Structure 1
Amino acid sequence: MKKLFLFLAVIVALCSGIAGDISVLEGAPFPGVSKAYAFETKPVNFVVIDRTGGVSRSDMRGWIQMVKMDYHVPYYRLMDDNTKANAAVNEMFAKNVKPDKEAMKAAAEQAGCGALVVMVVHRMDSYMVTSHSPFDFDMETYVRTFAYADMFAYNSDGNKFIRRFLRETDLKPLGLEENPSDTIKWTLGNLLNKMEGKPQI
């Protein structure tokens, strides 16, 4: 009985102590978490330069999904305003059409972001091809697809950089083809995963 009384007394003392010191928790991101352990949310910019004139909102949603897969809250936040990033990227390409690590680092610093992902879409289309072989009596229809894009990524966390010049041309039977936008999407996702040391999709 005495042990139970002592246990309850300790609990009451602890609770009253926490209630009395609740002011120290004000301003912390989560109850009971000190500012020293708060996450540093780094801004991320994703810049797409469309050389085709045919990039749709649906295409952008798919590509943004890949960027967010590696750069997401609470550690990163994808920025809606690309004004500074666009200016930095345009200046970068004016100096070098195939930017290296130092050029991407400088552009990221100029844009004020922790990570910068840049993609230049050169070609993204498809057309149908009908076989004309004398041995092919069914006149089978194929789809030829083109997915051309230059991809660059830089992350100040670890000073990481990667790039790829995608030039994918494919010919598959009608119904088995891959949308060029999806080809670009999965390539971008795997590229970022490779740079960040994550498994391929």
Structure 2
Amino acid sequence: MQDNYRHKGKRQQLVKTVKKKGITDKAVLDAIGKIPRHLFMDSSFEDHAYQDKAFPIAADQTISQPYTVAFQTEKLEIEKGDKVLEIGTGSGYQTAVLCELGAKVYSIERQRELYRKTKMFLNKIGYRPKHLSFGDGYKGMPDYAPFDKIIVTAGAPFVPKDLLGQLKVGGRMVIPVGDDVQTMTLFIRKSPTEFDKTEFGQFRFVPLLGDKN
């Protein structure tokens, strides 16, 4: 598949939609407007790629709704050079948004099929995370910690202590917490033992799974 003027036009419409829903961060909006989302999806969904909806991808997972991607990213307050841990590489779309913002991305995926496919695909289209690994998102990446920011892109039934422990003091973590429906939650680490917690609206994600492969 190619990226043509029609796709670019549809992306600008998507940016307007996301903006109307309350996203104000210009860098995040620019990233949504630049990244060819249709390339991250099965070709049968190409005509729907720039709707503000989630769609199925391999391994019974989904590519998140663009608004959700923008919302989580905006709450992270990414600065160029930030070291970011992403739990759930998935299609790689969120990874690409973080790379576009200048973050150094460390991403982990527990579906082997998806991990292999996405790793090759991201390289092919020029988005290169610092480290992409196959493993258990609940455990994070202790070898590369601490992180400036952490983003969890699957519904967590509880907040994994390992992830909070891998956040720098002053760092931000955005995680959807809950079983069937999740509450988007922001943690800011104030000290080695203190965290500020803010809850936002409800979202729906595929579940965060342990290392069962």
The answer to whether TM tops 0.5 is no
* Greater helix fraction, Structure 1 or Structure 2: 1
The higher-RCO structure (CA 8 Å, 6+ apart) is: 1
From the CA coordinates, give the structure whose radius of gyration is larger. Answer: 1
Structure 1-normalised TM-score? 0.32
Structure 2-normalised TM-score? 0.30
